[in-house]
């Protein structure tokens, strides 16, 4: 093997079966690390089919493992390859372990799944543990209800990994808003591994010179985003129905809206929504833009489902927001929206069709859209340190990096575990 260059290496794993959340979070972490440290290289292992659509900073790269997708019955299947799922998973496991073997990271960060998809990172964790690599499990602020999370991790045999393999557990949130492992039976030695970083709120990058700005962005507008879009059809339908109702009436109308459907939305649904939008001059529809943060920054307010990354971007852009969370297959978004609403960070509108109490009323959505521009932004709550997660995470990572990995930014003043 050739001699290794000086400096440190960080490997980040994300199973990425669907959506954009895991990929965007890992990308934000990678960018923050190379921004804070010179002589540091970060490699992302991802199953996202659209990872190549995103820009990456110098000293950050990615390897895409074969994609899989979760079916409605809970089983997995290969996304593109005509392979049995067992063959696809074996191929992924081999790529992951071989990459870790050659890359030889100083720090290995696993996103959300303690053993990876169907246990595919277990052998890699054991190999790196034997070499003395720092192993970190990174968790978003909310995973699911404690009882359901406990059952899931028991089924996936995750608890021994938390005890025996991982050195640290980083929670990308604040304990006084939500503690994702409260109510989960874990030993004290595992609880002692937990550090709360705050939310991973990314600064606004410069807009690319070739970026196309829709006409609607020339004046005040609402941004409606579903993230990846695979489960966003109900939100888009409800918003469009509100604008359709408004078009039939005299009186106040909501601000024009830029609706970004998301790359994983069903193509038939995309076509149906686009056809409806043609009849509504106040609506502009895009399928996907990898620089959506620019539209977030320009918007007067944001309407979204309440995924982790969107919530972080609402905080980072300091925009009034209306969250319409999903409640299945996990309660993650609903819990996040309720906690954030209780703290005055966002407004929440529960979808009545999710709990069987009724249909989505266009009048209810229209009322919420009319009120949204006058809502206070998240900064009015003055919750100290809520959006400082990336800088705190970079500080915490310092102990895992080689001494010659020079710090390029000043350390945060507060290095305590954030309770």
pLDDT of residue 82: 76
Rounded to whole angstroms, how far apart are CA atoms 199 and 392?
10
Across all residues in the chain, what is the average pLDDT? 90
pLDDT of residue 208: 85
Give the mean pLDDT of 98-108.
98
pLDDT of residue 227: 85
pLDDT over 70 percentage in the chain: 92
418 pLDDT band, cuts 50/70/90, is very low
228-286 pLDDT per residue, tens: 888 899 999 999 999 999 999 988 999 999 999 998 899 999 999 999 999 999 999 99
CATH code given to domain 8-201+388-400: 3.40.50.2000
Look at residue 415 and tell me whether its pLDDT is greater than 70: no
> What homologous superfamily does CATH list for 215-381?
Glycogen Phosphorylase B; (3.40.50.2000)
Q: pTM for the full model?
A: 0.88
pLDDT of residue 73: 59
173-211 pLDDT per residue, tens: 999 999 999 999 999 999 999 999 999 999 888 888 888
163-180 pLDDT per residue, tens: 999 999 999 999 999 999
Give the mean pLDDT of 17-46.
90
pLDDT of residue 49: 83
pLDDT of residue 230: 84
Helix axes 267-278, 233-247, angle to 10 degrees: 10
Look at residue 226 and tell me whether its pLDDT is greater than 80: yes
| Residue 264: partners with Cβ closer than 8 Å, 6 or more residues away | 18, 19, 20, 228, 229, 230
Cis peptide before 329 (omega within 30 of 0): yes
Residue position matching structure tokens 């409640």? 327
**How buried is residue 357: exposed, middle or buried, by Cβ count under 10 Å (0-12/13-18/19+)?**
exposed
Look at residue 296 and tell me whether its pLDDT is greater than 90: yes
What's the half-sphere exposure (Cβ side, CA atoms, 13 Å) at 43?
Answer: 18
pLDDT of residue 153: 96
Look at residue 307 and tell me whether its pLDDT is greater than 80: yes
Look at residue 413 and tell me whether its pLDDT is greater than 60: no
**C-alpha dihedral (417, 178, 166, 388), degrees to nearest 10:** -50
Q: Is the CB of residue 97 less than 8 Å from the CB of residue 126?
A: no
Give the mean pLDDT of 367-391.
94
419 pLDDT band, cuts 50/70/90, is very low
Look at residue 5 and tell me whether its pLDDT is greater than 90: no
Task: Map the chain to HEC letters.
Answer: CCCCCCCEEEEEEECCCCCCHHHHHHHHHHHHHHHHECCEEEEEEECCCCHHHCCCCCCEEEEECCCEEECCCCCEEECCCCCCHHHHHHHHHHHHHHHHHHHCCCEEEEECCCCCHHHCCHHHHHHHHHHCCEEEEEEECCCCCHHHHHHHHHHCCCHHHHHHCCCEEEEECCCCCCCCCCCCCCCHHHHCCEEECCCCCCCCCCCCCCCCCCHHHHCCCEEEECCCCCCCHHHHHHHHHHHHHHHCCCCCCCCCEEEECCCCCCHHHHHHHHHHHHCCCCEEEECCCCCHHHHHHHCCEEEECCCHHHHHHHHHHCCCEEECCCCCCCCHHHHHHHHHHHCCCCEECCCHHHCCCCCCCHHHHHHHHHHHHHCCCHHHHCCCCCCCHHHHHHHHHHHHCCCCCCECCCCCCCCCCCC
Give the mean pLDDT of 214-239.
94
Look at residue 417 and tell me whether its pLDDT is greater than 60: no
**How buried is residue 358: exposed, middle or buried, by Cβ count under 10 Å (0-12/13-18/19+)?**
exposed
pLDDT of residue 326: 87
Q: Is the CB of residue 264 less than 8 Å from the CB of residue 258?
A: no
Give the mean pLDDT of 365-378.
97
132-147 pLDDT per residue, tens: 999 999 999 999 999 9
In the chain, list all ranges with CATH 3.40.50.2000: 8-201+388-400, 215-381
What phi, psi does 358 have (nearest 5°)? 160, -175
Give the mean pLDDT of 313-320.
96
47-71 pLDDT per residue, tens: 888 888 888 999 999 999 998 876 6
Task: Map 161-203 to HEC letters.
Answer: HHHHCCCEEEEECCCCCCCCCCCCCCCHHHHCCEEECCCCCCC
């Amino acid at each position: 093997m050739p001699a290794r260059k000086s400096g440190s290496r960080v490997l980040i794993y994300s199973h990425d079966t669907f959506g954009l959340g895991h990929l965007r979070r890992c990308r934000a972490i990678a960018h923050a690390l190379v921004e804070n440290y010179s002589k540091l290289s970060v490699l992302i292992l991802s199953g996202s089919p659209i990872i190549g659509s995103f820009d990456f900073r110098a000293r950050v790269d990615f390897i895409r493992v074969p994609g899989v997708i979760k079916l409605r019955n809970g089983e997995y299947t290969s996304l593109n390859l005509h392979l049995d799922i067992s063959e696809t998973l074996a191929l992924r496991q081999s790529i992951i372990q071989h990459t870790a073997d050659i890359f030889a990271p100083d720090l290995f960060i696993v996103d959300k799944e303690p053993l990876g998809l169907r246990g595919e990172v277990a052998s890699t964790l054991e190999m790196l543990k034997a070499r003395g690599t720092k192993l970190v499990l990174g968790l978003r602020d909310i995973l699911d209800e404690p009882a359901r999370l406990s059952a899931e991790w028991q089924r996936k045999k995750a608890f021994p990994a938390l005890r025996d393999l991982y050195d640290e557990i980083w929670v990308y949130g604040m304990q006084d808003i939500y503690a994702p492992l409260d109510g989960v039976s874990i030993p004290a030695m595992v609880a002692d591994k937990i550090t709360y970083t705050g939310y991973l709120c990314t600064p606004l990058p410069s807009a690319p010179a070739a970026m196309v700005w829709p006409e609607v962005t020339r004046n005040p507008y609402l941004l409606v985003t579903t993230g990846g879009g695979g489960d966003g059809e109900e939100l888009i339908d409800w918003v469009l129905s509100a604008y359709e109702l408004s078009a039939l009436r005299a009186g106040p109308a909501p601000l024009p809206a830029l609706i970004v459907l998301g790359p994983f939305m069903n193509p038939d649904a995309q076509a149906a929504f686009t056809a409806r939008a043609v009849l509504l001059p106040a609506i502009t529809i895009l399928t996907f833009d990898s620089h959506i943060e620019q539209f977030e920054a320009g918007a007067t307010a944001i309407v979204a489902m309440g995924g982790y990354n969107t919530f972080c971007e609402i905080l980072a852009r300091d925009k009034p927001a209306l969250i319409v969370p999903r409640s299945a297959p996990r309660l993650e978004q609903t819990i996040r929206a309720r906690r954030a609403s209780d703290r005055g960070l966002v407004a929440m509108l529960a979808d009545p069709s999710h709990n069987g109490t009724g249909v989505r009323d266009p009048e209810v959505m229209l009322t919420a859209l009319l009120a949204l521009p006058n809502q206070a932004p998240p900064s009015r709550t003055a919750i100290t340190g809520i959006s400082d997660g990336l800088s705190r995470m970079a500080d915490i990572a310092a102990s895992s990096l080689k001494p010659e990995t020079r710090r390029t930014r000043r350390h945060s003043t507060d290095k305590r575990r954030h309770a």
